[in-house]
Amino acid sequence: MNEDHVLPEPFTPAGSADLETVLAAWQEATVRLEQTHEALRAEVRRLTDELEVKNRELARKNRLADLGQMASHIAHEVRNNLVPVALYLGLLRRRISEDPGSLEVLDKIEAGFAALDVTVNDLLHFTSDRDPRLHVFPLAKLIEDVRVTLDPQLSAQSIETVTEIDDDLCVTADRDMLRRAVLNLMLNAVDAMPEGGVLTVSASSHSHGIEVKVADTGEGMSEEDARRIFEPFYTTKQGGTGLGLAIVYRIAEVHGGRITGESRPDGGALFTLTIPPPAQKAAA
């Protein structure tokens, strides 16, 4: 008689299924731990980079504070001594009014005196440490006022000006400070085009604030210039004080805004001054 042979069931240890579950959970936990570890490393790198930026900015502000105190003292002392010199020059001009040769020499002295006065004014503006007095005013009118001020120099250098600003666009800022910032940006553009060109000033409103753009058709900036252009006393111009754009930086800073500069792909440079909404809301 044939008997059916039944193969025995494979032997499975009682805890095998539980072990596989534990191993799977362990693997999943390991993956999550690795992901968390990498996320933490990335966050540490980000915070470290942010701390380095903050430390550099703090060191820069400390240097500027020390420099500002020294420059302010020097500027006031120089200005006090310039006042009587200006009076003496006026008296001297009246006395030699009939001597063309002497008047020519005096003209050169007064030109040097005027340049020194500009330097003193730049120092005083740079070291000014007051909060902005915020007002609402039309931006187009301010830009036009600055353009009219520069019109003789613009005409002498054959520089065409293009203004692209809505007459209804208003900004909330310190008008004197903003005028100084725009003036310095436009002067910087004029200096970049000694043989003529096109100076374009535009402004627009965005969610991050009011943007004022000043563009020229000069030679643009090198990488070194772009990196250091807002540093006090850094200049690429012969006889320049190196404070014009540093003053713009300070004005943007006290308004809670920012200023950037870059070379344009088609030639020239573009500076963008941003006055953010918080400054506007604070004044409303």
User: 37 or 211: which carries more pLDDT confidence?
Assistant: 211
Strand, helix or coil at 269?
strand
* Per-residue pLDDT at 281 exceeds 50: no
**What CA–CA distance (Å, rounded) separates 102 from 116?**
21
Residue-wise pLDDT for 4-59, tens only, equals 555 555 545 555 667 778 788 888 888 888 888 888 888 888 888 888 877 777 77
Classify domain 135-283 at the CATH topology level: Heat Shock Protein 90 (3.30.565)
Q: What is the pTM of this model?
A: 0.62
What is the CATH number assigned to the segment(s) 14-129? 1.10.287
Residue-wise pLDDT for 72-111, tens only, equals 667 667 777 777 877 878 888 888 888 888 888 888 787 7
pLDDT reported for residue 284: 42
Contact 187, 247 (CB under 8 A): no
List the domain boundaries for the chain: 14-129, 135-283
Q: Looking at mean pLDDT, say which of 65-69, 198-202, 233-237, 240-244 comes out highest.
A: 198-202
**What CA–CA distance (Å, rounded) separates 158 from 162?**
13
pLDDT reported for residue 255: 92
Complete DSSP assignment for 46-90: HHHHHHHHHHHHHHHHHHHHHHHHHHHHHHHHHHHHHHHHHHHHH
- Where do runs of H (alpha helix) occur along the chain? 16-95, 100-127, 139-156, 175-191, 223-228, 244-254, 277-283
* Phi and psi, residue 230, nearest 5°: -100, 5
Instruction: Output the average pLDDT for the chain.
Output: 81
| Poorest-pLDDT segment among 33-42, 109-118, 243-252, 270-279 | 109-118
Sign, Cα dihedral of 192, 257, 166, 169: negative
